[in-house]
Amino acid sequence: MSSTIDTIKQQISENSILLYMKGTPQFPQCGFSAQTVQAVMACGERFAFVNILENPDIRTELKTFANWPTFPQLWVNGELVGGADIVIEMYQNGELEPLLKEAAAANATEEGDS
Amino acid sequence: MNVQQHIENKLKVLAPRLIDVENESHRHHVPPNSETHFKVTVVSSAFEGLLPVKRHQRVYSVLDEELAGPVHALALHLYTPAEWERRGGDIPASPDCRGGTRS
């Protein structure tokens, strides 16, 4: 049986764009998660998400693992980009879309190679 | 001392040019007069050369006790003095509550 940390590491390494959030993209259950998922969706790339309200172990462990005490958390290419404040500011600055496009493109190439 | 004052006092370690701590708990599904949801704006040259994630982590480390305890949501807007000037002193608004649960 794998530990929660192993699960988190696996999720982060297997999904080039990954959002840990409260609720789902269709039914976000927190204003910060809602705004963040909206910004991510507006960039038009496929992304994975984990509803931390349904995964209490991940919710607890990820805070320590990431050194980040709140949700949402956006991870791109295995690195924490930030929470709502950062993601929304990057979206408004026009920095989010190229970051996500690049991550999606790199991922597509990798899949094609394998 | 209330949580808001605690946050303000602790953040002085960053030698801020500006601290603004706003209790936004009344906008969320918590009892009246709660101190659970805060928006914090800090302008400090301590953020010079730090990417946004690192700036946030710096503040989280200062407020680790509060975040492990009473504080449920902490919106952070962290600027260097130059960035703050470019913004013209504008503090971003927080989103509306969507329900959710208290951790």
Asked if residue A2 has pLDDT above 90, the reply is no
Task: Provide the pLDDT confidence category of residue A112 given band limits of 50, 70 and 90.
Answer: low
Q: Which of B96, B100, B89, B45 is nearest to B75 (CA)?
A: B96
Chain B interface, Cβ < 8 Å to A: 52-53, 56-57, 60, 64, 67-68, 73-77, 92, 94-101, 103
Of A33, A86, A88, the CB nearest to B53: A86
Q: What is the pLDDT of residue B103?
A: 46
Residue B73 backbone dihedrals phi, psi, to 5 degrees: -135, 135
pTM for the predicted model, two decimal places: 0.90
State the average pLDDT over residues A26-34: 96
State how far the alpha carbon of A114 is from the alpha carbons of A20, A53, A76, A107, A111, in Å.
27, 34, 21, 11, 5
A31 to chain B nearest CA, in Å? 5
Residues of B in contact with A29 (CB under 8 A): 98-101
Mean pLDDT of A26-52: 97
Complex ipTM, two decimals?
Answer: 0.84
pLDDT for B58: 97
How far does the CA of residue A63 sit from the closest CA of chain B (Å)?
10
Crossing angle of helices A96-113 and A31-42, rounded to 10°: 60
| A25 neighbourhood in chain B, CB within 8 Å | none
B22-26, B29-33, B45-49: which range is least confident on average? B29-33
Arithmetic mean of pLDDT over chain B: 92
Q: Which residues of A touch B60 (CB under 8 A)?
A: 67-69
Fold classified for B3-87: GMP Synthetase; Chain A, domain 3 (3.30.300)
Q: pLDDT tens digits for A61-106?
A: 999 999 999 999 999 999 999 999 999 999 999 999 999 999 999 8
What average pLDDT does this structure show over B89-93? 89
- Residue B102 pLDDT greater than 60, yes or no: no
- From chain B, the residues in CB contact with A34 under 8 A are 95, 98
Helix H or strand E encompassing A56? helix A56-66
Confidence of residue A47 (pLDDT cuts 50, 70, 90): very high
pLDDT computed for residue A108 by the predictor: 82
Burial class (CB in 10 A: 0-12, 13-18, 19+), A38: middle
Closest residue in A to B98 (Cα–Cα): A30
Report helix, strand or coil for A19.
Answer: strand
Q: Is the peptide bond before A72 cis (omega within 30 degrees of 0)?
A: yes
